[in-house]
Amino acid sequence: MDITFSSDDLKFRDEVRLFFANAAPEASQQLINNPGTYKQGVIQWQKKLFAQGWVAPFWPREHGGAGWSATQSYIYECERVIAQAPDVVPFGLKMVGPVIYTYGNSEQKARFLPGILNGSDWWCQGYSEPGAGSDLAALKTRADRDGDDYVVNGSKIWTTYAQYADWIFCLVRTDNSGKPQQGITFLLIDMKTPGITVSPIPSINGVDSLNEVHFENVRVPRSNRIGEEGQGWTYAKSLLAHERTAIARVADSKSRLDRLRKFASCELQGGRPMIQDEEFRARFTTIEAELMALEYMELRVLAAMASNRSPGAESSLLKIRGTEIQQALHELTIELAGLYGCMIADNDTSSADIGHSFGDQARKDFMYGRAATIFGGSNEIQKNIIAKRVLGL
């Protein structure tokens, strides 16, 4: 792939910069940082991107996407993190949207895609169950046919932001007779349907994002089924590849690395900035080199996606290295913060008032960051996929 910036690319970069300068992303980010106004901040930002026509870079133009090249997407992501602008929530735009425009019928496309693009519908992902995480095909939530409806019974777990969701896309079991993968169906379920309850699961970082979602005799019209009954596994797998690619978060790690460099230039030990400490530098530059290698891998995957090829097993490579680098960055940042990284700020006192300004956030990022090697399919499972599909073992 060619990633040299053409004069058109440079013009595009200026356009993106100007957009971020005028769109005031920090106002939305402030709302997002506050759990009470999180949803409002996300929607506000998504509406700005939608108005600009940039909310779905990879969607084909015919479905309302920006149809950007890999280079344009790369430029956008770099400028986004420099401007510290929010990312979009992935469940609608990066996960179920591509499934609907690829496998859905024309009524489903007309009904669901506009709400995903303009931010009026908030989606969540109902894949995992108490007995089905890594072994997702073991899922038991049942959907039995009754006239023109399915009747859904069972429970999903770890459902991120289900408390805000208007819709959930779910894998359900419609057949038990064959291989576990064969009896799975992909349903779109309105969260307002009677029989659905959402119960929160407290998180270690203090931000409530996780839930259990219970279904008791929930009636779902058959017209909300994507594709064929029993073919849900195929649709689910294509979605997972997009999810893993998004989890790599290379641009975000680059910006974290820059911030860490700045913090380490100010932090003194024995009168010398930490950035000059040999051990610290060795760890810092190792992460920097690994991140650079990951960036080129991501560019290859982005190029494939821009030519309408679905990211395959490469997305597992990206997921593993991306999340390992994220965790290495969190660890080095919290170590730099030292004891201040252990302080828990209350409403009146922020650790920003005492010691390092970055300590409180470093602790939250470190704690939530432990989940990155688990969600989207754990890294051990990604290694199994690579062993099978890349190395042919």
Ligand X SMILES: Cc1cc2nc3c(=O)[nH]c(=O)nc-3n(C[C@H](O)[C@H](O)[C@H](O)COP(=O)(O)OP(=O)(O)OC[C@H]3O[C@@H](n4cnc5c(N)ncnc54)[C@H](O)[C@@H]3O)c2cc1C
Looking at the annotation, which residues are catalytic?
243
For ligand X, which is the closer residue by CB, 215 or 280? 215
Kindly state the smallest distance separating residue 210's Cβ from ligand X, in Å: 6
For ligand X, which is the closer residue by CB, 74 or 127? 127
For ligand X, which is the closer residue by CB, 108 or 159? 159
For ligand X, which is the closer residue by CB, 20 or 235? 235
**Residues 6+ positions from 331 with CB-CB distance below 8 Å:** 366
Kindly state the smallest distance separating residue 129's Cβ from ligand X, in Å: 8
Kindly state the smallest distance separating residue 390's Cβ from ligand X, in Å: 16
Pairing of strands 123-126, 167-173: parallel
* Residues forming the site for ligand X (CB under 6 A): 125-128, 133-134, 158-160, 210, 371, 374-375, 377-378, 380-381, 384
Kindly state the smallest distance separating residue 135's Cβ from ligand X, in Å: 6
For ligand X, which is the closer residue by CB, 126 or 183? 126
Q: Cα separation of 324 and 201, whole Å?
A: 25
Torsion of CA 382, 86, 361, 126, to 10 degrees: -40
Kindly state the smallest distance separating residue 357's Cβ from ligand X, in Å: 26
Burial of 18 (0-12, 13-18, 19+ CB in 10 A): exposed
Paired tokens of 77:
């992501």
